[in-house]
Amino acid sequence: MLDGKVMVTGGAGYIGSHAVLALLDAGFEVVVIDNLVTGFDWAVDGRAAFVEMAVEDPRVPGVLAEHGVRAIMHFAGSVVVPESVSDPLKYYRNNTAATRSLIESAVTAGVPHFIFSSTAATYGTPERVPISESDPTRPINPYGMSKLMTETMLRDVAAAHPINYACLRYFNVAGADPQGRSGQSTVGATHLIKIAVEAATGKRDAVSVFGTDFETRDGTGVRDYIHVSDLAEAHVAALKLLIAQPGESHILNAGYGRGFSVMEVLDAVDRVTNMTIERRLEGRRAGDPAELVADNSAILKTIDWAPKRDDLDGIVKDALAWERALAERAPAERGR
């Protein structure tokens, strides 16, 4: 398989912790580095080694050597789009500059494979949906640009050094580990399904619907929601491909290729919880496109992966189960 460990940066965070589980479940050995600014050490599965460290720390090459790392999955970074608009330098530091440092550490240590968390935000406002990887990338916020700049660095570095890479452009990631081992724990969430299950568990009294006048079937925004465990397994499949075909790199949309509106998501939450969660109809959020849906034909034919959890009610059920478990945790563990 791989003659060494996989380093997972941000492995104490939401998507990273699920990737750790998928890697361990597939038989890989894992070392996590995370600075615990938004992640939680308890979110790292006990089978993985854990080092509390930032990705730009000068000691990273030492960790790579000490653990015999042969692949890096890079999840660490900042992810809140409106914050990227008000504090762009934070995003160019945490996402672009820190990743430059990590890639340099990888090249220095001779790590041959790199998988990067990219985003549908690299496309900006799409000219057409579903969106294909060859469509124009014109980010409309610093978050998307900070990720696109990293994709560009990887392309150039892979042309110059013996390293191949996969960039997975995530659509809307949601849900939680079906076995209840991890989920979205960071406080101050802004993502729709997380917010809706917080309302279902009494942490909020209503859900705001941002925009009811989009050109969509019911006027609310349409997104391609992908279960976090399917996404995590896609990373493992991408890693296997990078190992099998060392000369080749890939940029792949990670979505299911179908969209649900905000109202359809909230209907699913009502169904699953058997509640009627209050919807507050509000104006559009700045920068929200009407519809983001992946053309996922490339990922389906490139890597050995097929969605197993393409079911909106199932995604909501898993998110809700995690939210309930989180509510029972000791407050100190729940979030910072």
Binding to ligand UFG by residue 21, rule CB under 6 A?
no
Q: Which stretch binds ligand UFG (CB under 6 A): 48-56, 106-114, 188-196, 248-256?
A: 188-196
Q: Which stretch binds ligand UFG (CB under 6 A): 85-93, 239-247, 285-293, 300-308?
A: 285-293
- For ligand UFG, which residue of 288, 298, 314, 324 counts as binding (CB under 6 A)? 288
Which of 14, 91, 123, 143 is catalytic? The answer is 143
Tell me whether residue 210 or residue 322 sits nearer to ligand UFG (CB atom).
210
- For ligand UFG, which residue of 75, 116, 143, 305 counts as binding (CB under 6 A)? 143
77: region left, alpha or beta (phi > 0 left; psi from -120 to 50 alpha) = left
- Four-point Cα dihedral 108, 111, 112, 117, nearest 10: -110
Task: Restricting to residues 222-251, name those near ligand UFG by CB under 6 A.
Answer: 223
Instruction: Give the residue ranges of DSSP H helices in the chain.
Output: 14-25, 60-66, 81-86, 88-91, 98-109, 142-160, 192-200, 228-244, 262-273, 297-302, 312-328, 331-334
The label of the residue with tokens 């340099």 reads: 104
Would you call 91 a catalytic residue per the annotation? no
List of long-range contacts for 85-89, beta carbons under 8 Å, 24+ apart: 85/141, 85/142, 85/286, 85/287, 88/142
Binding to ligand UFG by residue 210, rule CB under 6 A?
yes
Size, binding site for ligand UFG by CB under 6 A: 22
C-alpha to C-alpha distance for 292 and 80, rounded to whole angstroms: 17
138: region left, alpha or beta (phi > 0 left; psi from -120 to 50 alpha) = beta
Tell me whether residue 72 or residue 81 sits nearer to ligand UFG (CB atom).
81
- For residue 161, how many C-alpha atoms fall within 13 Å in the half-sphere facing its CB? 19
Tokens of 44: 């790292």
**Which element (helix H / strand E) includes 257?**
none
- For ligand UFG, which residue of 44, 226, 262, 272 counts as binding (CB under 6 A)? 262
Task: Restricting to residues 97-126, name those near ligand UFG by CB under 6 A.
Answer: 119-121
Q: How many CB atoms lie within 10 A of CB 248?
A: 13
Binding to ligand UFG by residue 312, rule CB under 6 A?
no
The label of the residue with tokens 């991890």 reads: 182
Tell me whether residue 8 or residue 15 sits nearer to ligand UFG (CB atom).
15
Tell me whether residue 125 or residue 179 sits nearer to ligand UFG (CB atom).
125
Tell me whether residue 50 or residue 143 sits nearer to ligand UFG (CB atom).
143
311 contacts: CB under 8 Å, gap ≥ 6: none
Binding to ligand UFG by residue 195, rule CB under 6 A?
yes
Distance in Å, CB of 44 to ligand UFG, minimum: 22
What is the binding site for ligand UFG (CB under 6 A)?
79, 81, 119-121, 143, 172, 190-192, 195, 207-211, 221, 223, 262, 285, 288, 292
User: Active-site residues: which are they?
Assistant: 143
